[in-house]
Amino acid sequence: MKRIAIQGIKGSYHDIAAHYYFDKEDIELICCSTFEEVFEVVKQDSTVMGMVAIENTIAGSLLHNYELLCQSNLTIIGEHKLRISHSLVCLPEDNLEDITEVNSHPVALMQCRDFLNNHPQFKVVEGEDTAGSAEIISRKHLRGHAAICSKFTAPLYGMKVLEEGIETNKHNFTRFLVICQPQRANLMRDIRQVNKASLVFSLPHEEGSLSQVLSILSFYKQNLTKIQSLPLIGKEWQYMFYVDLAFDDYTRYSQSLDAITPLTKELKILGEYQDGRQTV
């Protein structure tokens, strides 16, 4: 049985992503209140892996998780891209006309703005978690309250689904990373399946430093699928660059790293893994 640390509770999107990624295996969830706690649990126990969101196609990157990943010295071993479809759920005895208050995570509320605007009678209240909002309504038996969460959350807490697919943009995906301690990653990684890598580096504060690195990656036919910059605290106008590369030749990928290393500072491989499938 695999032990997986997630941010949130059962029925959260992290839970759903974990079950999709480990779909042929039994898993035990370790539910954490914060992403900091997820990283700490994985750092302290080599038998535990973590599932953490890193970016959403609408809300963008989770910048703090990039920082946690870099500071943790943990390794990415996989990813999953989950289609996020929100539903409105409530107590079994309530109907849509009974609802006066809607609770959810602020990002989920933002992603359902059009639906909420069409129901101005709803008082909208931010919570810490999508599934957590449903659990609170169920546990406290809050009549007239509804939660925005996954439809798969409802049966876990004895709730019913009032409306499905209430998100404004149907092309709503979140990318999740699977992380673990480096020594475990070395045992689990199959280099024959590796076709993606995540790197982080800083650059000299010189004209053209980034364009030189990108030109070399292009020369070695590395597909730059993402680049994210974060400021270096205490060093004005200097940045850490987080880069995702996709490739079909591991040797050529290795050669590209050798070529850019002299041009970078603090180059670190955050993970080498297989490009994740997308759940639609």
pLDDT for 50-92, tens place per residue?
A: 999 999 999 899 999 999 999 999 999 999 999 999 999 999 9
- Name, in order, each residue with C-beta under 8 angstroms of 88's C-beta and a sequence gap of 6 or more: 96, 99, 102, 115, 146, 147, 148, 161, 162, 163, 166
Q: Is the pLDDT of residue 280 over 80?
A: no
Q: What is the mean pLDDT of residues 227-251?
A: 91
Q: Could you read off the pLDDT of 24-57 as tens digits, one per residue? A: 899 999 999 999 999 999 999 999 999 999 999 9
Question: Is the pLDDT confidence value at 94 over 70?
Answer: yes
The answer on pLDDT for 12 being more than 80 is yes
Residue 112 half-sphere exposure, CB side, CA atoms within 13 Å? Answer: 30
Task: Say if pTM beats, i.e. exceeds, 0.85.
Answer: yes
Token pair belonging to 193: 């399946």
Q: Which amino acid appears at position 272 of this protein?
A: E
pLDDT at residue number 5: 98
Q: Are 137 and 92 in contact (CB under 8 A)?
A: no
Q: Determine the Cα–Cα distance for residues 66 and 5; give it in Å rounded to an integer.
A: 17
